[in-house]
Structures are given as C-alpha cells and as structure tokens.
Chain A
Amino acid sequence: MRYLVALIIWLCPLGAIAQEWEDQNAFGPASAQTTLRVLSSTDTSLFVPIIEDFLQEQPDVSIEYFVTGTAQIDQVFRAAPEDFDVVISSAMDLQLKLVNDGFSVKIENLDQPQWAQWRQSLFAFTTEPATIVINRAAFAPGAVPQTRQELIAAMRARPDIFRGRVGTYDVRESGLGYLFATQDARSSETFWRLMEVMGGLDARLYCCSGAMIDDLVAGKLMVAYNVLGSYVAARDDVAEKLEIVLPSDFPTTMMRTAFVSSRTDVEDEASAFVRHLVEVQTGPRNREVFPLPPLGSAVDGTGQAVISLEPALMTYLDPLKRRTFIKEWSSAVIQ
C-alpha cells in the first residue's frame, strides 16, 4: 500500500492547485455563439497568432485559453473532461494515455504521417528538442560543452562555479520533465551520471522551462538541462547571455500534441481548430507571425528519431514503474 499512499500524497497538491491557472485568456467576440475551451501547456504568447488566425476564419467562435502544467492538465482533464474541448500538451505520454483511455474523438480528413498522429485522434504539431542552455558567463568562448559527457566533465572540473547554479526539471512535478528524463534514461546511462553530478552540485529543480530561463537570465543559473530551446529562441532579450546547445550525443525530441475531447459539445469547431493548428504548423508560414517551432521530420539531421507516439509511452506512467524511477531519480538528484 505504500505506493498508493505515495501516489495520493503526490496527487493531492496537484488537485488542490488544479483550478489556479498559470494563465487564462479569452479571444474573439463576447457575443460568439460557440466558445472553444482550450486546455494547454503552451504559453499563451506562443499561441496567440494561431488563435487569432483561426478566429478570423471562424468569426462566430470565441476561445478560452487555459494554461497550466502538463501534469496538471492530465489531472484536471481526467477529473472533468466535459469542461474542455481541445487539449494541448507537450507531455506526449500523458496525451497518448488520455487518447488510449478513450478521452478523444477521431478527426477525419486530417492527413498526417503515421509518426505524427495516433489513432487519427492525437496530432503532433511541433518538433522541439530538449536542449542544454548555458550562461555564456560560465564558459570561455569555444569551451562550451557539446555533449552530456562534456557537460559532466565541465561541472566536475569547476564545482565552485556550478554549485547551486545548475538546474533541471523536477520530474515529480513536471510531466514534460518526466517524459524527457525517462526517454533520456532509456537512451543512455550517461543520464544517470549527469543527474548524480548535478545532484552533487545541489541542483535547483523547476516546474517549467520558462522559470529556468528566467533564472539563467538573472544569473542564478549557469547551466540548465533539458530546457525547451524553442522557449529560449522565442525570447529576444536573452541571445547575448544564453547559448542553446543541442546535445550531439543523443538529442531527445518532443512533439507537442493536441486532441479533441470526446465529451465536447462543439466537436466540429474543436476539430476545425486542431485541423487549423496542424495546417498552420505544417504548411509554409511566416516565422515572424507564428513563433511556435514547426512540425519537422520524423528523423532529425543526426539520425535520431523523435519520441514515437506509441503505446510504449505508457510504460513509465505505470505507478509502479514511476515509483521506481522517481526513487532512483531522487536518490541521484536530491542527495
């Protein structure tokens, strides 16, 4: 029963904060006949252009856009699937499990390659690698680590510089951080050694990429691991201070996904929104207008595949598996 207690303890705070949105905005005319309720983990600023583009085509629709963390999305949506029409998240595993558990409807007439959709219900619309973001102040030009191994070596070489100034996701809190960590752990043992080194340097743990970037800019962090590079690139005040490193040993690339709730009352409009989202993200477009990274290809330049949309993503969501993984991660990072 210990794992159940642990699970409940872990879930309770999430339930309590479920209705406190990170951000909440309404778009479109107040008189609109139909309101689409979009539950998303993506910052509103990145989504505004897409929403406005959609509302131009659908003047009778207004959109309520709720932003919260990936893990919370799963909790909130499972608790009340009828409250939301479209669910958007970067936590592919949680999204896939929601679809697997029958929380979605199929969207016909939306042709996506097999790797970028699941069950014609869950549609990927970005490819975004997890990156190492460094504060240029900590490294001499040309000495920036390009792989996890080099990062480990650099941190070991100058522990004084990095102590208390390295950061990564708190995988207990962040669904995306958990997805990145589990996929890293599958790929290489290096991940565990990196976590141990970071743990030895009193790593700071974060809920989200945005907070890590803020602390990097403020100089509180020298290195952040598994940050969404797209968030850094979307900010124009950071290019001088920060450098994005795509680890060349093995990249872990995530796809943002969206699906339409099976409990929606406005399936046509919700499907149209997802279809529009995918069309904008896959078609030719103006990067100035639409800041979200586009849907790339299944395999990136280094021959590494994106995280596949497949039932295996549910493996690490298993409570027993999760308990084991969190235990190992905690013993490595929280020393």
Chain B
Amino acid sequence: MDDGVNVTGSLRARLALTLIGSAAAIAVLLFFVVRTYSAQIAQSGQDSILEASVTSILDAVTLREGDVEVDLPYVAFSMLSTDADDRVFYALWQDETLLSGYELLPVADAPDGGEIVLVSAIFDGAPVRVATAARILVGANDRMRVTVSVAQTQDALAGTLNRISRNVGLIGAGFFILSVLVASWATNTTIRPMERLTNSITRRGPKDLTPVARPVPLEMAPLVASLNSFMARLDTSLKQSEDFIAEAAHRVRTPLATVRSHAEATLQRVEREDNRQALRSMVRAIDESSRAAGQLLDHAMITFRADHLETHEVDLVELVEDLVTRLTPVAEMKDIALTVVSEGEARVEADAILLQNALRNLVENALKYVPEESEITLEVSATPRPRIEVRDEGPGFPPDQMQDLAARFSRGENAKDTIGSGLGLTIAKDVAMAHGGELTLTNMPEGGACVTLLL
C-alpha cells in the first residue's frame, strides 16, 4: 500500500509508544510515591509507639529523698512487641550519669520540655529507631535532668515495607497492563477514521473524482479539504483535456471530409497511374485520420456518458444486426462476411449509444486486421450473462501483450503495418466497465482473435 511512498515513522507506533511510555513512567512513579508514602506511614506507626513508650517511662520517674527512682512500667516494653520480635534497647540518664540501660545507645539531644526527638541510628550492628525525651526534676537542694531513650530494631518495619513494595509493585504492574490495553484501544480508535478514509479512497473507481463526503474528525478536515480541492482541480483539468481532444478531433474531421471529397474528385480526373496511386494512398490516409478523430470523439463521449449512463431496455441481437447492416458495405469492399449468431432475444438494461460505439469499434478493429475473404462472427447470448463475442480469422493477439492492449493508445506488436490509433479496445473496455461488465481478450485455438464483451 505504501508503494512508492516515502514513509518515515508510524503514527500508530508513535501514539502507542507515547501512551505506553507515559503509562510505564506513571507506574514507576506511582510505585515510588506510594512506597515512600507507605514507608513514612509505617515509620510513623513505629514512632508513635516508641513515643508512647518513652512517655510512659518518663512519667514513672520520681524523686524520692534526693534519689531518682524509675518504676519502669511493664507496658513500656510490652507495647513494643512485634511480629518480627524486634529487639528493644533503652537508656535512662541522670544528667551525664547512666542510671540504667544500654550505655552505648546513641541518644539524641532532647529539649527539657518533654518533647520527643526521634532519630534513626545503628546500634549493635542493627538499624534502630531511637526516641528520646528529657524531664527536669526539681529536688529540695538541686535540679536534675533525666533523659529517657527507647530504641527498637526495624525488622517488622522492613517486613511491612517488603509486603507493601510487593503489593504496590503488583498494583503498578496491573496499572501498566491496563494502560497498555487502553493505549492500544485509544490508538486504534484514533487511527480508524484515517483507515476508513484510506479504504474509501482506495475502493473508488478510477474515474471517481467526486469530493469525500463521509464525515471525518476535525483534525483530518484540512487534509480531506486539500484532497477534495486537489481532486476537483484534477477533475477539471481532465475534463478540459478531454474537451480539448474532442474539440480538436471535431475540428480536424470536417476539413478532412472536405479534403477527402476533393481527393476523390481529383482521382476521377487524373489519368496517370502513379498519380492515381498517390491519390489513393492519400484517400486511405485521410480515412484513417478521420477514423482516429472519430474514435477520439467516441472516447470523449464515452468518458462523459460513463458518469451519467442513460440506460434503457435494449435488445442486443437487434443492436448487433443493425450495426452489421451499417458496416456490411465496408466489409464487402474487402470481401469479408459479417455473420450474426444468436438465440432469440437478449434484452438488457444498457446505454444503446455506448454499446453501439463499443461494438462498432470492435468490428472495425477486426475488419482492419483480418485478411480478405474471411469471416467475422458476432455471437450474442443472454445466459449466463449477457455477452457479445466478436471472433475473426486474423492473426490474433500477441499473447504476451494481451493484458496491456486495452490501455489507451496501446497497439499490438503485430499491428505496426496497420494504421490505427490504439483507442478501439480502450473504448470497448470503458463501455463494458461503465455497465459493470468487463472485456476479455482471447486467441482461439484454431487461430483468430476473440473479444468478449460481458455485461
């Protein structure tokens, strides 16, 4: 389909890649955002338990007779139980002296107001979260600062994070797959009007240059408008050139007729044989030119009428017999017999003028190429499809050129010696196609060409 078209890239691929790429980017972003957010929530869960633990211990600190007493509440550590059996560390400091607990536990500087400071640290080779708070105790003689730190390893947290990561990963993957499906659907939906337009233009007949009428999306409107205007210009240009050819042919034919009659008259008067010979050649050439001009006119007419067929009920047999009657004098000049074979009537809905034209061109072609004293047979049949066969006893078509012969101005290799325009078969083919039929060329086994006009 892209034969001879300079293709770079693909809208579908670009659209799909853009959508899938952004879906992948969003999925990855989603993964990290949700994971980070969940990690914060999980961490804040651990933090609040550590805070509660520190607070409960700090509340249990009392000053009795100048001595600091800490009645460590059972719940302070009990609340730190986790599924992963996280390790728990603590330290109680009175000013710079360790009261009890783990001396090496990293302790953050906490303000005196009881505000809890949370830090992450490494203790005994394990990452821990440490909550620290301090309180000022005022005794009879002195004031002292008691600092409480509680730390917990992060095994349960790590387990939670792994679980969250796995789930978020699955959600991200699901989102991505869904996005790919949506992307392919969106791509197809977007590309479809373009494919429909392409199809409708591809399916058009070769002469259909009417504007595209089917609705198209807004974005394609400029393209279709350009296409329509291009086709309109092309149509006009084609019509102008057809008109020009018809006009030219018409203008040439009338003076040719005059020249021919003068040549005929002169031929009657001239006595010398070589002069007569020259004049006869002249008359023949004039005939050919006249016939070519006629064919050009026929072709122009067919091009015009093919778009506006005027169909009536026509009897093919009657039409063929009528034509044979008119062409018989020409045939007799070459001692050629025109025979009509038929089985009763063959009525079809068709444009009689076009059919006549086509048939005349076929028979004239045959007359031109067959040897003298031979026979041309026109066979009409109504079934299975209405058809007219024109068979002759001439040299037949060159087998390797049969496909191209019906093209405009194309002539067979073996027709070089014969004068002709190459339009005859084109006209017949155009007429067949205008009626929804076809024209087939075959050579008969016993020699001779056979042209079948199927309707």
Contact = CB atoms under 8 A, between A and B. Distances in A.
B88 A324 contact: no
A102 B187 CA distance: 60
Contacts of A17: none
B100 A318 contact: yes
A2 B67 contact: yes
Given A320-B100, A321-B72, A324-B71, A119 B77 contact: no
A311 B74 contact: no
B99 interface: yes
Contacts of A313: 77
A2 B81 CA distance: 32
B325 interface: no
Contact of B76 (A309, A315, A320): A315
Interface string A184-206: 00100000000000000000000
Contacts of B81: 308, 310-312
B101 interface: yes
A318 B61 CA distance: 13
B197 interface: no
A135 B411 CA distance: 137
A314 interface: yes
A319 interface: yes
A100 B88 contact: yes
A118 interface: yes
SS class, residues of chain A in contact with chain B = helix
B73 A315 contact: yes
B87 interface: yes
Interface residues of A, number: 23
A275 B84 CA distance: 20
Contact of A311 (B70, B78, B83, B92): B78
B75 interface: yes
A312 B74 contact: yes
A114 B74 CA distance: 20
Contacts of A316: 72, 74
A102 B124 contact: yes
Contacts of B69: 320, 324
B125 interface: yes
B78 A318 contact: no
B85 interface: yes
A102 B126 CA distance: 10
Contacts of B92: 320
B80 interface: yes
B221 to A, nearest CB: 70
B288 to A, nearest CB: 107
A315 B72 contact: yes
B85 A319 contact: no
Interface in B75-107: 75-78, 80-81, 83-89, 92, 99-101
A320 B99 CA distance: 8
A314 B70 contact: no
A319 to B, nearest CB: 5
Contact of A119 (B74, B85, B101): B85
Interface string A253-292: 0000000000000000000000000000000000000000
A119 B81 CA distance: 11
A319 B75 CA distance: 17
B88 A318 contact: no
Nearest to A182: B74
16 contacts: A101-B124, A102-B87, A114-B83, A119-B84, A119-B87, A311-B87, A311-B88, A312-B76, A312-B77, A314-B88, A315-B76, A318-B70, A318-B100, A318-B101, A320-B71, A321-B71
Interface of B: 67, 69-78, 80-81, 83-89, 92, 99-101, 124-125
A-B pairs, top 9 by smallest CB distance, nearest first, are A312-B78, A311-B88, A312-B77, A119-B85, A311-B77, A310-B81, A321-B72, A320-B70, A319-B100
